[in-house]
């Protein structure tokens, strides 16, 4: 991790934190840090700074911390993503968070297997883990919001128009005529379908909500490749 992400419950005084579990193990085994060393830290939802290690004992790490700068700004991007396979979901969430996506909506579509919605990875605590890993990678502190929508048509007709209001609206579609734009400065809502893409009927519903079909080139990409490729292109 490039940043040790801290939470309010880690503080034992106003400027001292005590860490255990994965973070203290990473400090010991990956950073190979010792008492007196200084590491980059960030307060969840707050600023970034430094933490000086005071004690390393009994599988605990105590650090004195200070914060002096803001994290990198979020992208003005909302990602609407057909729920991918559970094995790919974690990697996609890490990538999207690392790239600065502000808001993520996981949705159902015809090509999404219903069994995916029963995965333990969709439990709140499991969903938070890859988001934290993405923040630690990118030296960010603000978790993206994430919501689940199990019915496509009600989402596309009732929720999506308001969700995407005042933004450029794009839907990734392999057979679209227009390429995905580059270096977009305005707020954007990007919809990406499952492996195989959205059905024509689903694309029509998205088009009715103002979404323009775009492609990212002649190659057909897996979802876990298309997500970072399209986000990088837009940003």
Listed in sequence order, the residues at least 6 apart from 180 whose beta carbon sits closer than 8 Å to its beta carbon are 170, 172, 214, 215, 216, 230, 233, 234
What pairing do the DSSP bridges indicate for beta strands 178-179 and 168-172? unpaired
> In the predicted model, is pLDDT for residue 114 greater than 80?
yes
Query: What ranges in 105-220 are assigned the alpha helix state H?
Result: 124-138, 152-154, 160-163, 200-208
- Alpha carbons 18 and 122: distance in angstroms, whole number: 29
**115-133, pLDDT tens digit by residue?**
999 999 999 999 999 999 9
160-200: per-residue pLDDT in tens? 999 999 999 999 988 888 988 887 788 999 999 998 899 99
pLDDT recorded at residue 183: 79
**Residue 218's pLDDT is what?**
85
Which of these, 201, 191, 226, lies nearest to 105 by C-alpha position?
191
What domains can you pick out in the chain, each with its CATH number? 4-69 (2.40.240.20), 77-234 (3.40.1280.10)
Query: Do 121 and 86 touch, CB atoms closer than 8 A?
Result: yes
**Selection from 33, 34, 40 nearest residue 5 by Cα:** 40
Q: What are phi and psi of 154, to 5 degrees?
A: -60, -35
Rounded mean pLDDT, 96-114: 96
Does residue 138 carry a pLDDT above 90? yes
The pLDDT tens digits of the residues spanning 191-217 come to 999 988 999 999 999 999 999 999 888
């Amino acid at each position: 991790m490039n940043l040790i992400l801290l939470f309010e419950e880690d503080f034992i005084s106003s400027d001292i934190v005590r860490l255990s579990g994965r973070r203290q193990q990473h400090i010991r085994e990956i950073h190979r840090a010792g008492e007196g060393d200084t590491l980059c830290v960030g307060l969840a939802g707050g600023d970034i700074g430094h933490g000086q290690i005071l004690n390393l004992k009994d599988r605990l790490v105590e650090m004195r911390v200070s914060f002096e700068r803001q994290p990198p700004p979020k992208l003005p991007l909302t990602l609407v993503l057909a729920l991918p396979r559970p094995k790919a979901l974690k990697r996609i969430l890490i990538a999207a968070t690392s790239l600065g996506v502000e808001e993520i909506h996981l949705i159902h579509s015809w090509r999404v297997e219903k069994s995916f919605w029963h995965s333990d990875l969709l439990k709140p605590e499991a969903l938070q883990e890859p988001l934290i890993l993405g923040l630690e990678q990118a030296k960010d502190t603000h978790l993206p919001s994430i919501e689940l929508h199990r019915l496509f048509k009600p989402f596309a007709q009732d929720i999506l128009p308001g969700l995407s209001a005042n933004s450029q609206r794009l839907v990734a579609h392999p057979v679209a005529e227009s390429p995905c734009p580059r270096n977009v400065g305005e707020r954007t809502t990007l919809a990406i379908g499952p492996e195989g893409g959205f059905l024509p009927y689903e694309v029509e519903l998205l088009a009715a909500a103002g979404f323009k079909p775009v492609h990212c080139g002649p190659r057909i990409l897996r979802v876990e490749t298309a997500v970072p490729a399209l986000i990088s292109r837009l940003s």
